[in-house]
Structure 1
Amino acid sequence: MSFTIYGAAGSGSVPVEAAMTLIGLDYRVIEAVTWEGEAERDKVAVANPMRQIPALITPAGETITESAAILIWLADAYPQARLGPRLDDPRRAQFLRWMTFIPAAIYSMFWVRDVPSRLVGEDAAAQEELKRRTAERIAECWRVMDSQITPGRFLLGDELSVLDLYVAVASRWTPRRQRFYAEAPRMAEVMRRVDDLPELQAFWTKRFPLGDDA
């Protein structure tokens, strides 16, 4: 039996899909572009009452939501893929720290940005100011993370992890890669390395191409 993931190209499902691709799992994607309206969000309701992506259905029928939780679960459930430090690994604490920092500090900003009227109503000027401020907040968070992490070949050392996949996707969102490179120079080279992984080239092209912002 295969996995089912509710997701969309360019979304928070992409690092999950990338991890499953690297592990070699059989999965299908139900496209649900939730930022495009109620009908798209309703597609996800059967799996996640929050109507948010990603939502993963395991072959056993279990539902897992929240991108960080899914990524950590995949790394732990498939240790042979070596996509995350084990419980007794000294890198585990920092792995958990940054895997939760991204959704708490960065990913959460996009619930606001996708539909600004949720917080500021229909005032166009207020919506633009909200978008500007959240973009600055995201840039600040990348700067803080860069100042606190000491990458090797990858973010946690010499081995690729789901953290690298998570950052590779989230850093493609607003304020986009060029700003990320400026704010997070130590992580920048790592992300270029993740972008260039041969085993993910076809995947990135299909699910989240970088375009001119690389």
Structure 2
Amino acid sequence: MTYTLYGAAGSGSIPVEAALTLIGAPYEVIEAVTWEGDAERDKVAPVNPMRQIPALITPGGETITESAAILIWLAEQHPEAALAPEPGDPQRAQFLRWMTFIPASIYSMYWVRDVPSRLGGSDPAAQAGIEALTLERITDCWRIMDSQIEPGRWLLGDEMTVLDLYVAVLSRWRPGRARFAEAAPGLAAVVKRVDALPELQAFWAERFPFED
């Protein structure tokens, strides 16, 4: 009963890999560094026509794409791990709110800024403008999220969820943790706890080495 995950070190598959690690479910990773060219993207094409990672193949053979959907589904499939508020829990609405806010408002910006020619064409000035504006947008979104959350030990209170894993990973991406901490000090305190989880130290070292 092994999960198969198409992913890559340092990528959007990392919060999924972290969740599987905490759950204790067996999984294997098919490494597909999709930003390195068509050959890598073609590895994912049989399971995701968008040729993007992550893509999870469940033990039953079902394919799930989109990191937020995968994380929510895994938490529901493994309630013993207590990685999400259950339906009916007072925290469930905010959990779903922020689990969808991140891919809609933040994660989506990287599709633009990582390859600015997608929208800016071949004009270097246009590409530079896109890179700068998307980083400002990402920072603003972290700031807005921080203003709307009053964390406890974890983002939603006393219990860690896959939302904490999601934010911890994406906050390592550009514009980087220093600017993230300036924009979202409340969130920053929580992600440091995620970084320090003893259960994930070997995992971080292997899949997403990081120095604060």
Structure 1 residue 37: Cα displacement = 1.5
Give the secondary structure class of the aligned counterpart of 2:42.
Answer: helix
What's 2:17 paired with?
17
Deviations 1:35-54 (A, max 9, x none): 12211111100110111100
Q: Distance in 2 between matches of 1:179 and 1:47?
A: 36
Choose 67-76 or 37-46, whichever is displaced more.
37-46
Give the secondary structure class of the aligned counterpart of 1:30.
Answer: strand
What's 1:99 paired with?
99
Structure 1 residue 85: Cα displacement = 0.2
Deviations 1:10-50 (A, max 9, x none): 11100000000000010010111111221111110011011
What's 1:68 paired with?
68
Structure 1 residue 202: Cα displacement = 0.7
What's 2:179 paired with?
179
- Tell me how many residue pairs correspond in the alignment: 212
Q: Distance in 2 between matches of 1:179 and 1:32?
A: 29
Structure 1 residue 167: Cα displacement = 0.1
Question: Quick check: 1:30 aligned with 2:35?
Answer: no
Q: Distance in 2 between matches of 1:37 and 1:122?
A: 18
* Structure 1 outlier segments of 4+, above 6 Å: none
Q: Distance in 1 between matches of 2:113 and 2:205?
A: 25
What's 1:139 paired with?
139
Q: Distance in 2 between matches of 1:124 and 1:91?
A: 45
TM-score (norm 2): 0.98
Runs of 5+ consecutive residues of structure 1 not aligned to the other structure: none
Runs of 5+ consecutive residues of structure 2 not aligned to the other structure: none
Deviations 1:31-86 (A, max 9, x none): 11111221111110011011110000011100000000000001111000000000
Give the secondary structure class of the aligned counterpart of 2:156.
Answer: coil
TM-score (norm 1): 0.97
Deviations 1:67-125 (A, max 9, x none): 00000001111000000000010000000000000000000001112211111111222
Contact 1:13 1:67 survives alignment (8 Å): yes
Contact 1:33 1:40 survives alignment (8 Å): yes
Give the secondary structure class of the aligned counterpart of 1:145.
Answer: helix
Structure 1 residue 210: Cα displacement = 1.7
Give the secondary structure class of the aligned counterpart of 2:51.
Answer: coil
